[in-house]
Copies of this chain bind each other. A is one copy, B any other.
């Protein structure tokens, strides 16, 4: 196995218009540098699959007009408030929204991870989420003698997933630590790219303690270096959220004009 290195520009070029793009939660390593490059390249009609929610990444892509639909459990800026572009686009009917719930998004990817067509899931019955999801099915649990309805969530396989992480090794393995949901997303996706803060000249597998937190390189098509690649979001315990920037974004992106001004300032190379 060997490292295939590339650039963020090349990764973004691999995302065709109309792709289903895997999007990580704020705690999983959000590839913001890549996200800005997607906007620069003027992507269209992206469908976002969030595991299980998104923050600035989805909000900016939506505001920039790159997105056709979003499947998610939530989009929010967290302590910085509602996601302004998402909120505006949904309220104005400009965005197709497939509302889900966290465990259903995990279950859809876990089905693909095991290459089965669906995962059963408890809960959900009686939630209005189900009314609007014609892709979900309720069956009667075949192992129960009593009436026992259960939801089946169909498998989902993103066309491309991109995650930002701290380190890759010289053989293309990536250290993700406890963030195993990254592995689930990557296992379930057809193509995978990572951006990393740095590539270090070791083999993570030489150390069993490090190895426990590694995503094996054979799942990853190519890796690009992106220093501060999650900025203005946090990355593990490497750097914190840029609070000033996030407050500024939350305020400015409330209007279309404010968001466009933010974009033109922040998309400079």
Contact = CB atoms under 8 A, between A and B. Distances in A.
Contacts of A152: 142-143
B208 A210 contact: no
Contact of A208 (B118, B139, B154, B237): B237
A118 B139 contact: no
- Indicate how many identical chains form the complex: 2
A88 to B, nearest CB: 35
A177 B114 contact: no
Contact of A116 (B116, B122, B154): B122
A213 B180 CA distance: 11
B117 A117 contact: no
A122 B116 CA distance: 6
A61 to B, nearest CB: 29
A141 interface: yes
Interface residues of A, number: 33
Contacts of A1: none
B118 A120 contact: yes
Contacts of A144: 117
A151 to B, nearest CB: 9
A246 interface: no
Among A111, A176, A212, which residue has the most Cβ atoms of chain B within 10 A?
A212
A150 interface: yes
A152 B107 CA distance: 16
A191 to B, nearest CB: 22
B118 A114 contact: no
B116 A178 contact: no
A139 B142 contact: yes
B209 A117 contact: no
A65 interface: no
B143 A178 contact: no
Interface of A: 103, 107, 111, 114-122, 137, 139, 141-144, 148, 150, 152, 154, 176-178, 208-213, 236-237
25 contacts: A103-B114, A107-B114, A111-B120, A114-B121, A116-B119, A116-B122, A116-B150, A117-B143, A117-B144, A118-B141, A118-B142, A119-B119, A119-B120, A137-B142, A137-B143, A142-B152, A177-B208, A177-B209, A177-B212, A178-B208, A178-B212, A208-B237, A209-B209, A209-B213, A212-B212
